[in-house]
Structure 1
Amino acid sequence: MIFFKPLITLAIIRGLFRALSAGTVLSLCLLAGNAAYAQVPGELVGSDLDEQVEDAVEDEIEETVDDTVADVADESVQDAVEDAVEDQLDELLLGPGDRQVEEEIEESVEDELEESLEDALEDDAEQVAEETVEDLVEEAVEEQITETVTEDVEENVDETVEEAVEETVAQNVEDSVQDQVEDSVQQEVAQNVEDTVEGDLEEQVEAELETSVEEGIAQTVETEVEASVEEGIAQAVEMSTEVQVADAVEERFENQIDDILDTLESDLEVDEDRIAREQWLVMAEPEVFEELAEKGYLFDTVTDLPALGMRLAEVAGPSSFDITEVRRGVLDVVGKDRADVDFNHIYTAGTELVATETGIAPRQAISLPETGTATSAPRIGMIDSRVDVAHPALASASIESRSFVASDAVLPDFHGTAIASIIAANDQGYQGLMPNARLYAAAVFERDEERGEIASTVSLLRALDWLISSEVDVVNISLAGPPNRLLETALKRAASQHVLVMAAAGNGGPVAQPMYPAAYDTVVAVTAVDEGRQIFRLANRGSYLDIAAPGVGLLHARAGGGYAASSGTSFAVPFAATAAARLLSEQPGADVMTQLYQSAEDLGPPGRDEIYGYGLLRLTAI
């Protein structure tokens, strides 16, 4: 192995000199170019600094060279040992030719190694020198600067500290005062803000709560109303449907019943005692007759009924004529409920029960109230026979009469005179129930040789129309007979014009069928009692009865002069008619019948019954 120590030493020395020159240059650059060092006084960068730097550099170089040489020596020894071992191995393993090649390789490697080592040593030496010089220069400069600056700083610090303390104290005082002011202002502002916010918040919460509650209630009410409306609509629709179905069924059922009754009426033998022979009637509004005329219907006699808004036609034909077929034919043309077709039925005043001239005067049969507060005379209409207005009891009474029978007919006057006297007689020896009343007497009875005193449906309709046009308040009908479609319709129209109609219950006896017009719903049915408040023995009974009044043994004027006593339900009607007329004159438009029913004396079974109705009429209890 070749030992390289002379080469190594030379490389080290060369590197150190290069490092020294570089360090010196670096120190000068640092002193001249650093901004901090430019503040150092000029005397600090003179010869003393150069000497110190050179001494420090020499010491550092020596130490570095020693350390580097020692390290290189150690490495060289190690390498020499390794080379010796390798030589011995080569001698054992290689031959003479191989030896020569190996020597050439070693020489080449040594040259390259020397160059590489020299470069490495130079680089290390330069780096060490530079770092050493830089550190030394920095330490020396820092020491000089520290000493110089410390003195100046101490002087400046005293002044600066005093000024700083003063400024700090002032600032602290100012800050303290400002903090206190700010705290106070903050507290006050915070309190004001808190109060304001609290008040605003309360108002806002209250408003929002109120709004929320209102909206909740509105929504709840709306939901409930909507559900209620939907349920109500559903129920209404269901109810309407049920009603429509019920009405349809009822209408169909009524039509079937009408057909059956009409057929029975045609099949059964007609009671010629209750109809006018060879005549039937049609009543409808005027335009209906125009439609019938277009279809070829011709009528013998046509009468206008202006107060009723109707027109009445009489058709000649035998009583055995099939009225059902006629009715169906008319209704097929004009439609149901637009026209009424029926016989011209006849009505009677009932059996006359004439006694002696002694009897119970009307004003003795019932207690009358004192003079009322009416400012005008009550207007009462009556449909009966002719009135003997020349009778002394009626001579001074206010009576207007009109006949509704044929001009050549014989007019009876017994029954009409009796009823008129009970109502309006005004004689010194005999007074009726209301002497100041204005009485409108419609004569509808005529004498028939076979059937006695009778009144036809035609005469009744014409009389009723006249009384309505005369603006009467109450109509007294003291007759009875069979039902009639035309009469029923006319009475409904009278009721719709607030005309109160009262009629006799009938004198057919306890088991007799209901009598008309008293049995119609629009008419007040009046029955008769005696002085002992017992029912008249021939009076009809039934659920249609409304009220009872005196009607047995009543004293009344006799046509042609004098007085007589008679009994019957027709004589009881004037008591109820005059009571209603008096109330209407004092209380126009009042529900007078309810007052009369509530004030009646209950007779017979409790409440309304089929004998006395609501009870006995009492005028003083009203």
Structure 2
Amino acid sequence: MGPCHRWIVRSLSVVALSVMALPASAQLGGVGLPSMPGVGGGLPGGVGGGSPMGGLPDLPRTPMAPRAPRAPAPSLPLPAASALPSTVRGLVGQTEVLAGEALTALRGQQVQALIRDHADLIDVDDQGQAVVRGEVLILSPSPKSLAIARKAGFRVGSETRLEGLDLSTVTLGLPTGVSVREGVRRLKALDPEGQYDFNHIYLGAGAAPAVARGPAARGGGAGVRIGLVDGGVAAHPSLGPVEQRGFAPGGLKVSAHGTAVASLMVGRGRGFRGAAPGARLLVADVYGGSPTGGSAAIIAQALAWMARSKVAVINVSLVGPPNRTLEAAVAALVARGHLVVAAVGNDGPAAPPLYPAAYPGVVSVTGVDARRRVLPEAGRGGHVDFAAPGADMAAASSQGGYVALRGTSFAAPLVAGRLALELASPDRAAAANAMADLARQATDLGSRGPDPTYGRGLVAFDLRTSPTAVGAGRALLAGE
């Protein structure tokens, strides 16, 4: 998004937010405007490209109970479009469209910046997406595959055992003068049975929020355990003790994205609550402040820790391409009765599905705004399971107080928290029951029954906290 585009978005946002800040009696003859979405910037990590999948059988999606007849959605205190002056209607509409367009472009901009700023560490795959330079991942290799790789001039690194998932990975170094793209092609040609792939890099599916102070109060534990794979989580008045472990180079590092997502899962404060307030949160920081953080290999290690810890529900608000190692780790968790919840991403309705949300068995979540409309930047497809609030909302800031935010990243943790209240430990039958219960609670939106936009319907809408309710300011624009 260029400087001119950013200026337009900022100008429209300022006008609309200024109108909304007026007392009710002064707002266009007493008619209030809906809250405006904010777009943020500055996420950790990057994303990967699109390598072909293979080597694992598809797992059936969790069976759903029949959907109850659609009930009319309760009325919201919003003005009819005709009640607003045309100039204001145009500003509101343009701001929402531009905010969605900015967030759709954000992931690609971050990939380009990652490659540009860290060319010594980051390379690209065949699709031009970010991968760890000089590394090929091989999943659970046989002695034969390792022998073939050695004979072809690849350096065989140490094995990482993913205990709890019955998997392992080995990193292969490239022969001199061979790019990572050529290396993957050679290995697949020499050993079609081997499971070779890039070490793709993933990032969060939402805009990093701006800082704004607001009230908060600490909540107590509720005996529920839930997992988060993201960046590190800062101390915040709405959060109780958090168990964290760093998996990326550089150790654990606090992030704005991880803190916001954590609060939506387990936070509790004055005027604010997450989906499972006071629950015990286990956080796997897969970024650690490193340019190569968020890689498939690191995420797999984090998921293995969640499996060993017997965490039943795990939120992964990260998006990227299909990857054999990530696919295998997710499939192993699902087979063991865990629920993996992931955001569909913000690449737009025409974009290819993003992962891990599109893997079989993953609970895939899209976002809606305060008017229950799907975010225009949200992904679509038959893999979408549920919709939840993802804009016109606030969450905890890593610097204290609360912030406005936008993105499907922030819808997924609300669904994860709701499911965690129903699933105490990993169990396939209990997981299916928890999903069926949530589906029965969902409000049908869009086409009748499950659809590629809203999935089985809207849940957790009651958990949307308006930014004005907790004193959160608007979010920064991408790139600021």
Global fold match (TM > 0.5): yes
Aligned amino acid, residue 224 of structure 2 = P
Matched, 1:612 2:454: yes
- Deviation, 1:583, is 1.4
Aligned amino acid, residue 424 of structure 1 = V
Matched, 1:541 2:396: no
Structure 2 Cα separation of the partners of residues 426 and 470 of structure 1: 24
Name the counterpart of 1:530.
369
Structure 2 Cα separation of the partners of residues 420 and 376 of structure 1: 15
Aligned amino acid, residue 402 of structure 1 = R
CA 1:543–1:410: 2 relative to 1, 3 Å:
same
Matched, 1:382 2:228: yes
- Deviation, 1:327, is 2.6
User: Per the alignment, in what secondary structure is the counterpart of residue 182 of structure 2?
Assistant: coil
CA 1:462–1:448: 2 relative to 1, 3 Å:
closer
Alignment of 1:138-153 (within 5 A): none
Name the counterpart of 1:571.
410
Structure 1 Cα separation of the partners of residues 426 and 437 of structure 2: 11
Aligned amino acid, residue 200 of structure 2 = H
User: Per the alignment, in what secondary structure is the counterpart of residue 601 of structure 1?
Assistant: coil
- Deviation, 1:278, is 1.3
Alignment of 1:285-434 (within 5 A): 288-293=141-146, 297=150, 299-317=156-174, 318-331=179-192, 336=193, 339-352=194-207, 354=209, 357=212, 377-388=223-234, 390-394=235-239, 397-407=240-250, 411=253, 413-428=255-270, 430-434=272-276
CA 1:561–1:601: 2 relative to 1, 3 Å:
same
Structure 1 Cα separation of the partners of residues 125 and 198 of structure 2: 14
Alignment of 1:39-58 (within 5 A): none
Structure 2 Cα separation of the partners of residues 555 and 571 of structure 1: 9
Q: Is this contact kept in 2: 1:270–1:319, CA < 8 A? A: no
Aligned amino acid, residue 419 of structure 1 = V
Q: For each residue in 1:42-83, what CA deviation from the matched residue of structure 2 results, as whole angstroms up to 9, or x when unmatched? A: xxxxxxxxxxxxxxxxxxxxxxxxxxxxxxxxxxxxxxxxxx
Name the counterpart of 1:155.
none
Q: Is this contact kept in 2: 1:348–1:454, CA < 8 A? A: no
Aligned amino acid, residue 418 of structure 1 = A
- Deviation, 1:294, is 5.6
Structure 2 Cα separation of the partners of residues 513 and 459 of structure 1: 24
Structure 1 Cα separation of the partners of residues 148 and 182 of structure 2: 20
Aligned amino acid, residue 450 of structure 2 = R
Structure 2 Cα separation of the partners of residues 291 and 519 of structure 1: 32
Structure 2 Cα separation of the partners of residues 548 and 391 of structure 1: 27
Name the counterpart of 2:395.
556
Q: Is this contact kept in 1: 2:260–2:397, CA < 8 A? A: yes
User: Per the alignment, in what secondary structure is the counterpart of residue 442 of structure 1?
Assistant: strand
Q: Is this contact kept in 1: 2:149–2:156, CA < 8 A? A: no
CA 1:303–1:454: 2 relative to 1, 3 Å:
closer
- Deviation, 1:454, is 5.4
- Deviation, 1:455, is 1.1
Name the counterpart of 1:512.
351
- Deviation, 1:560, is 2.3
> Runs of 5+ in structure 2 lacking a partner?
1-53, 56-123, 463-480
Structure 2 Cα separation of the partners of residues 443 and 304 of structure 1: 19
- Deviation, 1:606, is 0.8
Structure 2 Cα separation of the partners of residues 316 and 412 of structure 1: 31
Per the normalisation by structure 1, the TM-score is: 0.49
User: Per the alignment, in what secondary structure is the counterpart of residue 437 of structure 2?
Assistant: helix
Matched, 1:282 2:128: no
Q: Is this contact kept in 1: 2:206–2:410, CA < 8 A? A: no
CA 1:598–1:291: 2 relative to 1, 3 Å:
same
Matched, 1:480 2:319: yes
CA 1:276–1:293: 2 relative to 1, 3 Å:
closer
Structure 2 Cα separation of the partners of residues 602 and 427 of structure 1: 30
Q: For each residue in 1:519-557, what CA deviation from the matched residue of structure 2 results, as whole angstroms up to 9, or x when unmatched? A: 111211100011111111211111211110011122111
Aligned amino acid, residue 321 of structure 1 = E
Structure 2 Cα separation of the partners of residues 618 and 500 of structure 1: 17
- Deviation, 1:440, is 0.7
User: Per the alignment, in what secondary structure is the counterpart of residue 539 of structure 1?
Assistant: coil
Structure 2 Cα separation of the partners of residues 586 and 311 of structure 1: 24
Structure 2 Cα separation of the partners of residues 553 and 406 of structure 1: 35
Alignment of 1:4-23 (within 5 A): none
Structure 1 Cα separation of the partners of residues 288 and 232 of structure 2: 9
Q: Is this contact kept in 2: 1:357–1:555, CA < 8 A? A: no
Structure 1 Cα separation of the partners of residues 367 and 213 of structure 2: 19
Structure 2 Cα separation of the partners of residues 382 and 603 of structure 1: 28
Q: Kindly, what percent of the aligned residue pairs are identical?
A: 35
User: Per the alignment, in what secondary structure is the counterpart of residue 584 of structure 1?
Assistant: coil
In terms of fraction of residues, the more strand-rich structure is 2
Q: Is this contact kept in 2: 1:384–1:444, CA < 8 A? A: yes
In terms of fraction of residues, the more helix-rich structure is 1
Q: For each residue in 1:105-153, what CA deviation from the matched residue of structure 2 results, as whole angstroms up to 9, or x when unmatched? A: xxxxxxxxxxxxxxxxxxxxxxxxxxxxxxxxxxxxxxxxxxxxxxxxx
CA 1:358–1:554: 2 relative to 1, 3 Å:
farther
> Runs of 5+ in structure 1 lacking a partner?
1-253, 256-267, 362-374
Q: For each residue in 1:239-289, what CA deviation from the matched residue of structure 2 results, as whole angstroms up to 9, or x when unmatched? A: xxxxxxxxxxxxxxx99xxxxxxxxxxxx97245421111110111xxx54
CA 1:568–1:269: 2 relative to 1, 3 Å:
closer
Q: Is this contact kept in 2: 1:398–1:437, CA < 8 A? A: no
- Deviation, 1:562, is 2.1
CA 1:427–1:438: 2 relative to 1, 3 Å:
same
CA 1:309–1:269: 2 relative to 1, 3 Å:
closer
Between the two structures, name the one with larger relative contact order (CA 8 Å, sep ≥ 6): 2
User: Per the alignment, in what secondary structure is the counterpart of residue 445 of structure 1?
Assistant: coil
Match of 1:468 among 307, 310, 313: 307
Alignment of 1:177-192 (within 5 A): none
Structure 1 Cα separation of the partners of residues 388 and 305 of structure 2: 27
Q: Give the aligned CA root-mean-square deviation in angstroms.
A: 3.0
Q: Is this contact kept in 2: 1:527–1:572, CA < 8 A? A: yes
Structure 1 Cα separation of the partners of residues 317 and 354 of structure 2: 12
CA 1:378–1:414: 2 relative to 1, 3 Å:
same
Structure label with greater radius of gyration: 1
